[in-house]
Structure formats: C-alpha cells, structure tokens
Structure 1
Amino acid sequence: MTRRLIDVQVEGYVPHAIHGADRVWTETNCYVDLWVEVLHALGLDPVPAAACAFSARFDGSQWTFLKFKPEDLFALYGIEVAEMNVWRRPVEHLEANAEAGLLSTVEVDAFWLPDTEGTGYRTEHSKTTIVPNLIDGESEVLEYFHNSGYHRLAADDFRGVFGLDDPLPTWPPYIEQVRLGVSVPECDAFDAVVRRHLRNRSTVNPVRALAERVLEDVDQLSTGGMELFHRWTFGVLRQCGASAELAADVCDYMENHGYPGTAKAAPGFRSVSEAAKSVQFRMARAARGRTVDPGEQLDRMADAWDESITAAARAAGSR
C-alpha cells in the first residue's frame, strides 16, 4: 500500500502544541502521543480526548498509563478503535488494513525506530506503539506516527521492525484497527466525556498516594543506580506530571466550551506537572547516591492536585 491514509509529509511536519518545546513534558507515553499526532494530522483537536487525565490514579506502585479511551474517540470524533485477531505476519495484517482504508496501531520494538536515535535506536529493545500511515513492502519503506512526530524508516529497519528475517513470532503483537468517519461526532460528546471522567476520578488523592510511594522508594533507588531510576520514574513521576499537564489543557478547553471558571484550575495542575519534573531531578540525584528529601514538594503537589480537580469537578457539576 503506497498511498498515505492521512495526507501528511515527513518533511516539514509540525507536531501539535501538546508536543511543543515550551511544554514541561514534551512527551507523555507512546499511546497518547501517537493519538495526539494522528488527530492533529486529521485536522482534529486532541485536547478533548485528554479528559481521561481527570480519572488517572495511583495503584500503589505506578501512575495510570494514560490512554485515550476508545469510547471517547468514538463519541468525540466518530473514530472506532478495536483489537484485531493476529494470525499472519503483522506486516500482512497492516497492509490488508491499509488496503481497506483502515489505520492500525501496532506494538513494535523501538530498537528499529530511527526516531529514537540517542535513546534506544539500535542499542536497546523496548516495546512501543506506532501507527503506520504508508507501507511500501516492495521498496521496504514505512512512514509512521510515533511519540511526538511523523517519521520514516527503510531497508534493514523495515525488515527488523516487522521481523521479516525471523520465524513467525510465537507471541503476536497487539494490533488495533482504526476506522475513521464511522459516525458523526455527538453534539454533546465533550460534556459527556469530561463529566464521566470527573465522576470516575480517584476517591483518594492520587498524588498524595504517589508521594508516599516516592518517599518509600528513595532508599531502593539510592542503591539501584540510574538504570533502575529511568524505569521507575517513567511509570511514576513522568506519567503523573504529563497527566497533570494534560488536565490543565482540558481545563483551558472547558473554559471556552461552556464551563466558566475552569481555567482557574489549570495553574494548579501545571504546578503539579512542574513539581513532578523537579522531584524527578531530585530522585535522579538519589539514584547517584546523594541524600534527598522531596517531602515538602510532594505535599504541595498533592494539595494542588486536590484543589484543581475539585474546582474542575465543581464547574462540571460532578461531585
């Protein structure tokens, strides 16, 4: 399939503002980031789908790995996302989906993604998700959405990312089919989405629960080194901080879409985001064997989250 499903070019691609250089967290996680850029490339505003940040929580060891919900994507944009049965080589399913006019999400090994140059490309194996937009099997070229942009790979990377030189994998990757324009977006979709996530928000302050765990983990990180720190912080401070920054974006959006006063909640969420980055730096020092005590900062984070989520819920009529 050599035509692009979304009319976009690698050269000159400009990411959405959520991935702008002025952000506290220029990336959140692979799944949210790719959906931000897919929606952006389709000419749609991804911010309403970020309302899922309001229902994020802490499970005792990690923050919610945020995902734009399939039901929200359907209500807000008329996009249907559903897992598919994988029984052939992944590239064959992706090509078939593309020929049918369907986008796909697919789990791949970031080892083969040149956009991860400097972090994992050709040096470290890790699972990530991409959305192919052009697949040229004959020329071995792939254009795809990943993280904060739109990229191209070819040749050995093409063969590697799809395992073309390997036997059929015994454990197939997770693939979703993405159907665009399945329905007309519902006129009151955002109201329903934001209220549902606010109703489903954590019954305890998730940032305070996270704070307790961070303090407990100081000793472990001080002996675990930087490799452990990077794995740890991705699921704890990075996901918390990125979720808070997205929650602030949604508050600003709400202010302009029938919820006056919600913009006042945005600074509190952004302060949580900024503090999470600051605490992350302090915990990196702990991983290098230095003594740190981020307790006060974590307390302020928890207070700011509580004030902001309460303000947003009140404005939306959710208790």
Structure 2
Amino acid sequence: MNTPSPAEAVGAQGAAVAPAASVESIGPVAVPAFEPAPRALVREAGRHALHQGERVWLETNCYVDLWIELLHDFGLDPRAALGFTVLQAFEGDQFTFPKFLLDDLATLYGVQAQELAIYDTLERQVLEQTRRGHVVIVEVDAFYLPDTRATSYRQTHSKTTIGIKRIDTGARQMEYFHNAGYFTLSGEDYDYLFRLASELAGNPHVLFPYAEFVKRNRPALSDASLADASASLLAMHLSRRPNSNPIGEWRAAFKEHVHAVLNRDVSYFHLYSFNVMRQLGANFELLSKYLGWLRERGFEIPDSLAKDAQHIASESMVMQFRLARARMRARPDFCDDCLDGLEASYERVMTPLAALFS
C-alpha cells in the first residue's frame, strides 16, 4: 500500500510520480479504445477540514486520506485518532508510512475493519458487504479510476486504495472514496475494476486483491469521553515513540540518498520525495492539527508544540524543492540548514509532549 499512484504523488504539490508496476496482474491488460468517462466528483464542499484550507500538504497518502473522509462521512471527527503520528520513525530508506491504527478506530469510534476474503468475484463480495451497510476498502489499479484523469487514468497501471460505499450491479455503477474525494464510475471502468471484462475474468494471472470491510459495531465516543480516550491513546503511543531522533537518522543517510537522486531518472526522485519528504511533512502537519484539537478540548499543551510540528511540515516541503533543484542542476545540496531545523523542531515537539502525557 506504500507505492503511490501518480494521483497521490501529484496531490496539491503538482509533482507527478512515475508509473509504478501494477500488482493487479502479471502484465498490463490491453484495453479497447473507448470514450473516457468524465471525472465524476460526487461532492467536494463536504470534505473534512483536514482536506481544506491552508495546508502545506493537502494530502498524505491514499490510506490516511481515505479514512479521513470515511470517518467524516460517518459523522465522526478523524482528528481524535491522529495520535499515531508520534510513532513515525526513519526506516533506512523511507519514513514510516502514516496509517490510522485499527485498534484506535475501534476504541474511539466503535469502527471495526476486518480482512475480506475474496474467493468469488470481487463484484459479488463487495455487493454483499455494501448491502450490509459496510464499506469495502480494496487495492485497485488507478488505470480504471476516472478521478485520476490527470495522471493515471487510461495512461499508467499503478496500485492505489479506495473505499467502496455502494454499487449498482444492474447499472454498472460504483461510488467510492479515493484520496480526499468521493467519486462515481461506471461502464467499462466498472467492468475492468471488478475484473468482469473478458480479458480479466477467469485469467489465472490476475491475483485477488487485498480487501477489508469496515463496519460500525457500537456507538462512537463523544465530547469529553472521546477527548479523554484520545489522550490516553496518545500517552500509550508516546511511550512507544522512536528511541532516537528519526531526523538525525535520516541525516546520516541523506548524502547517499542525494547522490542516488542525482544519478537516477526523474521518476526515482518523485518516488523518493513521496516516501520520504511527503510522508514526514504530512505526518507532522497532521500532528499539528491534532495538538490544536486537544488544546480546543482543554488540554494544556503549549501552542509552540503545534508550531514546531507545522515547521517540520513546511521545512520538508522546502527540502523537496531544494532536492528537485539540485537534480536539475546536477549539483548536490545536502540541506544541512534544513536538517538542523528539522532535528531541533522534532526535539521541541516530542520531549515536552512526552513529559505532558507521561
């Protein structure tokens, strides 16, 4: 799930990523010529506040953004579940991929996500779950998603994750969450997405996708109970945060990374920036929003902590631009001043935050 589709990598920053190899099939499937469907955005004004307003990183990754809008669609505030952001570490060649923790979602909202075993047609099994009021989260090929018209749609095969809320098998229509939006598709896109087209149906080289179904088991917490439970989860996550400053660990590897970016093609730069700068920056921008949410609910958290988390978000974007410029000029830029600021901001966030919630 951590390979971005081109649509993800473009986001609000406009830096398209190279096509990733599809995990949907052994090789690309030939698609007959046809009239492309319009980009069908069902609703935009109702997006959650995390996907509106002044943001450095308007989107994070397909999984986080989908869950933000799905929880919002349930009438829930996803900010209460953002405590996972303090867990991010440096993993040698990338930062931990931000994801909502399923146990947190169950505790705060009474929402449960379980793996959906696919043994029949994907269409039949999605229909069964949506008829029960569940949402199906599934990995698909962005090649068939009209909302990726500017990047992947009918252009490149790449893996992404969507949340299917309803389908109409007779009309061959589907409504789904993807990134920060809610869309509809139909016709040939429907046939290929559900593997009903003759090239895909019964093809032994086309593997079943990974899928989950989301159901609501009990009422969500609210008001003070929600805030208190969220704070308790944050305290637990802080006790499991990285033992050392992940920015410092990144710094130790960064010179090698810079040389790799300069010596490889532009697609590698886009993939690197998505998995490193964007995941770091977007993660800490979410942490900044979360700390503001806690402050609004009476927790005495210094405003400086949210500002330092936001500084990590903005400085990560600066590093992305500087690395792009370095590549264009074929001249290394090791961004020492940016890394100094990032390391210091991380300490100014995590050390006092851990003390407050110990």
- Compute the TM-score of the two structures, normalised by the length of structure 1: 0.92
- TM-aligned CA deviation for residue 301 of structure 1: 0.7
**Contact 1:33 1:148 survives alignment (8 Å):** yes
Aligned match for 1:80, one of 64, 87, 112 = 112
- TM-aligned CA deviation for residue 84 of structure 1: 2.0
**Contact 2:44 2:181 survives alignment (8 Å):** no
* SS of the residue 1:142 aligns to: strand
Summarize deviations over 1:213-259 as a string: whole Å, max 9, x none: 33321111112121111111111111000001011111111212342
* SS of the residue 2:269 aligns to: helix
What amino acid sits opposite 2:274 in the alignment? F
Aligned match for 1:171, one of 188, 203, 207 = 207
- TM-aligned CA deviation for residue 264 of structure 1: 2.4
What amino acid sits opposite 1:153 in the alignment? L
- TM-aligned CA deviation for residue 21 of structure 1: 4.5
**Contact 2:140 2:161 survives alignment (8 Å):** yes
Q: 1:4 aligns to what?
A: none
Distance change in 2, residues 1:266/1:171 (3 Å): same
**Contact 1:259 1:315 survives alignment (8 Å):** no
Aligned match for 1:296, one of 300, 325, 337 = 337
What amino acid sits opposite 2:237 in the alignment? H
Q: What is the correspondence of 1:251-262 to structure 2 with a 5 Å cutoff?
A: 251-262=291-302
**Contact 1:224 1:287 survives alignment (8 Å):** no
Does residue 1:34 correspond to 2:66, yes or no?
A: yes
Q: 1:71 aligns to what?
A: 103
* Distance of 1:109 and 1:92 partners within structure 2: 19
- TM-aligned CA deviation for residue 130 of structure 1: 0.6
Does residue 1:228 correspond to 2:262, yes or no?
A: no
Q: What is the correspondence of 1:263-282 to structure 2 with a 5 Å cutoff?
A: 263-282=303-322
Q: What is the correspondence of 1:186-197 to structure 2 with a 5 Å cutoff?
A: 187=225, 188-197=228-237
Q: 1:3 aligns to what?
A: none
Q: Which deviates more, 78-87 or 68-77?
A: 78-87
* Distance of 1:117 and 1:126 partners within structure 2: 13
What amino acid sits opposite 1:149 in the alignment? G
Does residue 1:134 correspond to 2:166, yes or no?
A: yes
Does residue 1:158 correspond to 2:190, yes or no?
A: yes
* Distance of 1:128 and 1:213 partners within structure 2: 28
Does residue 1:107 correspond to 2:143, yes or no?
A: no
* SS of the residue 2:208 aligns to: coil
Summarize deviations over 1:275-297 as a string: whole Å, max 9, x none: 10110111112332432231211
- TM-aligned CA deviation for residue 211 of structure 1: 2.7
- TM-aligned CA deviation for residue 181 of structure 1: 3.9
Q: Which deviates more, 270-279 or 114-123?
A: 114-123
**Contact 1:110 1:121 survives alignment (8 Å):** yes
Q: 1:212 aligns to what?
A: 252
**Contact 1:254 1:263 survives alignment (8 Å):** no
Q: 2:75 aligns to what?
A: 43
* SS of the residue 1:153 aligns to: strand
* SS of the residue 2:46 aligns to: coil
* Distance of 1:184 and 1:197 partners within structure 2: 21
- TM-aligned CA deviation for residue 12 of structure 1: 4.8
* SS of the residue 2:264 aligns to: helix
* Distance of 1:305 and 1:86 partners within structure 2: 42
Summarize deviations over 1:77-114 as a string: whole Å, max 9, x none: 01011112211122221111011221111111111111
**Count of paired positions:** 309
Q: 2:357 aligns to what?
A: 316
Q: Which deviates more, 94-103 or 281-290?
A: 281-290
What amino acid sits opposite 2:239 in the alignment? R
Percent identical among aligned pairs is: 34
Distance change in 2, residues 1:96/1:281 (3 Å): same
Distance change in 2, residues 1:11/1:296 (3 Å): closer
- TM-aligned CA deviation for residue 11 of structure 1: 3.9
Q: Which deviates more, 164-173 or 148-157?
A: 164-173
**Contact 2:59 2:282 survives alignment (8 Å):** yes
- Compute the TM-score of the two structures, normalised by the length of structure 2: 0.82
* Distance of 2:154 and 2:251 partners within structure 1: 35
What amino acid sits opposite 1:96 in the alignment? E
**Contact 1:215 1:295 survives alignment (8 Å):** no
* Distance of 2:44 and 2:135 partners within structure 1: 22
**Contact 2:134 2:165 survives alignment (8 Å):** no
* Distance of 1:149 and 1:311 partners within structure 2: 36
User: Unmatched 5+ residue regions in structure 1?
Assistant: 1-8
